[in-house]
Each structure stands twice: as structure tokens, then as C-alpha cells.
Structure 1
């Protein structure tokens, strides 16, 4: 004979009710998260841990961060619903939006992402302007990076420089921190990267600014965001959005998470904000 505990049964019913309200099936009690690998795996994991813990407490489900090997894998895992939430750059969002037929939705972006910039760095005293890059070895980050490739390339083209024709060599370091390392080590004469990674390296004393310097900063553009697949239930999507928007530097937990994310706060994001990046990608033949 099987005996039933009234309290246990009540707890089970309440759990099922909460899961149903959140829009998560009983089979899927894990929210799967990934991010483009724009920095080293250890740094990405360090930045993710407190945020995953926070989301678990707000959503009432287990939240798992799963790293991917490259930018393309981040796009494919969300498009194919292998993950539920992804941290994209502007270009990877555009790629996912196109690849999915419009079935991905940006939820929030950092306030900083509404006016993001890239920087060009060098150790060569003869490089003062973008024009001075002609005939030089120049490194971008990943080929799919917004701030480490697409937008720097776009601004180079606007300045009358075609990297594939005018540079001696175009290199791809794979990540922003790797670009800094390549320039500092003299492997290339210049490199382009995300301004927030550069500023973090400077603040932490991880780069010798008497040798490595910024010689050009781009105009602003929209960049990173947290994106979900459109098939995510609306109730869960809203709860997730509100949890991210609620992060505040006025609390110890919020301050830690936002500092790790290099964010003042999160603000709502809209797909239309990335039309400029899509146009730049098509113009550069990258989409």
C-alpha cells in the first residue's frame, strides 16, 4: 500500500503551480544560459556566477551557465533552443535574429550599451590616426565580434581604409583581452577592441599604458544584450526581464553583479536598435 503525506502533496501542488505560472514545464526546471566568449573562459565564469545565483533566487529554478567555444556556437545554441538565455554582442544578436527568422527577442542591455564604443590601440609611436594603419599588421577580436571587428571595420571603411586591401596582415585574436596581449607583445602593430575591456585592463593595472595607448575611439553604437528565444513563455520572459531590470547598485548583491557586468544598470532593449549594426554587417559583406 502506498501512503500519501498531505503536507508533501500540498508542497508538490504548490511547486507545480509556481512552475506553471513561470511558464517552465515540469521537465524543464533548469534555465540554461550562455554568453559569447569575448574574454577568457575563467573571466566569463567569474562574471557569470553571482548573476546565475541571483536569477535562481528570483525565478525559483536552477540556473546553469554553459560556456561555448566560439561566437557562432553561442548563436546556434540559442537558435536551436539548446539554451534559454544568451549574452550577445550586437552583431551576434543580428546573426541570431536573421538565422532564426526573427525568433529571438532582446530583453535588456546595459545602459552603457546604448552608447558603446571601440578603441584602436598600438605601441607604435608612428601610428597616430587610422590612416597610419596602412601597410601594418592589425588584429581584430573574433570575426563575429561587434566591438572587436564589425564596428571597427565599418569605421575603417568610412575612413577610406579597406582592411583586406590596405593592411599588410589582418589577424583575429579571438577575444578582446587577447587583442591587448597581441599588441603589447608586438605580434601586431595595432588592434581594435571593446572599450569596456580596455578600461578594465587599465583600471586593474593589467596593461602598461606607457607602452600601449589608444589612438582612436569610435563614435557610439548599440551593442550587447541579453536575448531569449521567442518560444520562451511570456510569463517567464517577463519575470526574467524584471529580475534583470531590478538589479541596483544600492544593494550589495546588485552592486557586485553590476560591477562584474561592467554596468551602471540594465535597461530595456529593442530589436530595432540593432538595424544599424545589421546594415553595417551587410555593407561589409559579413552577413
Structure 2
């Protein structure tokens, strides 16, 4: 794994994919929804697992942004990606024939949380109300399903206005970990965060709940998935896509699954994310 991690760090520094992996190397990436060091640790071991299952060299390549993950997929610099709902839709629109293969057991019913700094005095609520108006608010990445797309959808649904009209200042933190830290520090009074990141931070004690707390949960929606390019069989041999699907669905090592974190993986299809595409179109995020 050390070899893979060294290569990954070098790629991150230069964002130069060429010359690192051979033509027969199967390369994957993941949206940078958490701090980079956590992602490298998580996906380095996933690369080891896939290499053993697929019988080819496998490399994980970290990227700096959600848009960079989509671009790398479009340009065939990676053949597989752990995308969020929105980034997966964007990638599949750009690469005809690409396919959602697998999703976490939790992903058909994913959620976002609205969190608040303690200074707001806000308490958990069943419905969004006018107590949030006029406060500062941060989303995660602009391309995040759980950090931007779906929270914005539900905010618009609740208030009948764009977030910029509801809040005094709206920002984008870049990832879920940073959203929590910004609200915890009081830089923003409110934020939208992936529920998995929040729950993990509460469980391991890295979130100071005396400074920031959960105040609202969105309804469920489909989110993360593994998406693969449609031309992998031409590159790696007939049936390779199905081998990848099988390897993902059979991933049952508790340590591997905990790094996502997911309870396991189940089949996914492009149709599962049609509601995400429709929502992104309605909000003008995609054409």
C-alpha cells in the first residue's frame, strides 16, 4: 500500500496523471468530501483490495475538487470513481455508456443535516422556520449532493426563496469536515453537512457539541455510488466491468467498510439517480 500512497501524494501535488500508471493500470478516484489525508488512508486500502480481486494493478488518485473528479473521469484519467449523487450524474452525462455499479446500503436513503453554532440558541426542529432567517450559512462543495444540492432544494422548498435571500451571507466550505469546523468556530452560524460525517465526528468525539449541534434533518434521497466508464472491457478485457461490480458488491471486510463508512454495498443503476438529475436541472446546476 505504501507504493500506492506515495504515488497518490505525488499526483495530488502536481495533478499530473500521465506517466504514473501504466496503460494496464486500473485507476480510480473519489470526490474530496473530507480532508485529503483521510481520503488517502481510506482509498489506499481499497486499491489493495481491488488489485487482489481484479488481478490488475490498481491505483487510487486523489483530486482537489469535485469538478476535478468529474474531469478526470471524463478524460479517462480514471476509469472508476466514488461519486456523490450529483457528481455521478454529471460524469455519466459527459461519458456516454458509463454506469453506476454499486452504492452503499445507506445511500438510497441518504440525508443532510443542518447544524448551528451554540450562539444562535437554536434547538432541534421538525420543520425549518423563520428563526434561521438572517443568519450566516455555509454549504460544503458547490458540486456536493449532500453538502449543497439537496440542502438547497429543501431550503428553497421551505422558504420559497433562494438561500441568498434567506441568509445574510452564504458560503461554500469545500468539504464536509471544513463545514463542521467553520460552524464550530462560529465563522458561520449555520451549515449543511453529510450526516455520515457528522455522526462519525460525534461518535469519535472530534466534534465539540458544546459549540455546534444538529438542528434539522432532511428527508432521504439517493447519494453516493461507484461509477465506471463504459469502455473498460475494451481496455482490460471482456467481462472486466462485471468483475469490478462483483468485487465492490462482495466487499465485506469490516475495516474496509468502516472507512467509507458503509454497512456494505448493493447494486446501483443510472436510473436510481434520475431524481438527482431532475433536481439539479430544476436548480440550474446542470443543463
What is the CA–CA distance in structure 2 between the aligned matches of 1:271 and 1:247, rounded to whole Å? 21
> What is the CA-CA distance between 1:166 and the residue it aligns to?
1.7
What is the CA–CA distance in structure 1 between the aligned matches of 2:166 and 2:77, rounded to whole Å? 40
What is the CA–CA distance in structure 2 between the aligned matches of 1:52 and 1:97, rounded to whole Å? 22
> What is the CA-CA distance between 1:264 and the residue it aligns to?
0.7
Tell me what 1:164 maps to. Answer: 164
Aligned with 1:62 (options 32, 57, 61)? 57
SS at match of 1:159: helix
Tell me what 1:73 maps to. Answer: 68
What is the CA–CA distance in structure 2 between the aligned matches of 1:41 and 1:126, rounded to whole Å? 33
Unpaired segments ≥5 residues, structure 2 = 1-21
Tell me what 1:24 maps to. Answer: none
Tell me what 1:114 maps to. Answer: 108
> What is the CA-CA distance between 1:28 and the residue it aligns to?
2.7
Corresponding residue pairs, total: 255
**TM-score, structure 1 as length reference:** 0.86
What is the CA–CA distance in structure 2 between the aligned matches of 1:51 and 1:37, rounded to whole Å? 15
1:126-179 CA distances to partner (integer Å, 9 max, x unpaired)? 334533221111000000000000000000011024202221111100000000
Tell me what 2:231 maps to. Answer: 231
Tell me what 2:33 maps to. Answer: 38
Aligned with 2:47 (options 40, 43, 52)? 52
1:55-90 CA distances to partner (integer Å, 9 max, x unpaired)? 111111111111111111100111111111111000
Q: Is the 8 A contact 2:140 2:173 kept in 1?
A: yes
> What is the CA-CA distance between 1:222 and the residue it aligns to?
0.4
1:156-210 CA distances to partner (integer Å, 9 max, x unpaired)? 0110242022211111000000000000000000000100000011111001112
Tell me what 2:19 maps to. Answer: none
Which aligned segments of 4 or more residues in structure 1 are displaced greater than 4 angstroms?
none
Tell me what 2:11 maps to. Answer: none
SS at match of 2:191: strand
Tell me what 1:155 maps to. Answer: 154
What is the CA–CA distance in structure 1 between the aligned matches of 2:207 and 2:214, rounded to whole Å? 12
Kindly report which structure 2 residues correspond to 1:90-129, keeping only aligned pairs within 5 A, or say none: 90-100=85-95, 102-123=96-117, 124-128=119-123
> What is the CA-CA distance between 1:219 and the residue it aligns to?
0.4
> What is the CA-CA distance between 1:99 and the residue it aligns to?
2.4
Tell me what 2:173 maps to. Answer: 173
**TM-score, structure 2 as length reference:** 0.86
Q: Which has the larger radius of gyration?
A: 1
Tell me what 1:241 maps to. Answer: 245
Q: Is the 8 A contact 1:79 1:104 kept in 2?
A: no
What is the CA–CA distance in structure 1 between the aligned matches of 2:184 and 2:104, rounded to whole Å? 29
What is the CA–CA distance in structure 2 between the aligned matches of 1:69 and 1:247, rounded to whole Å? 26
1:96-151 CA distances to partner (integer Å, 9 max, x unpaired)? 12223x33211100001011000000123433453322111100000000000000
Tell me what 1:259 maps to. Answer: 258
What is the CA–CA distance in structure 2 between the aligned matches of 1:244 and 1:276, rounded to whole Å? 24
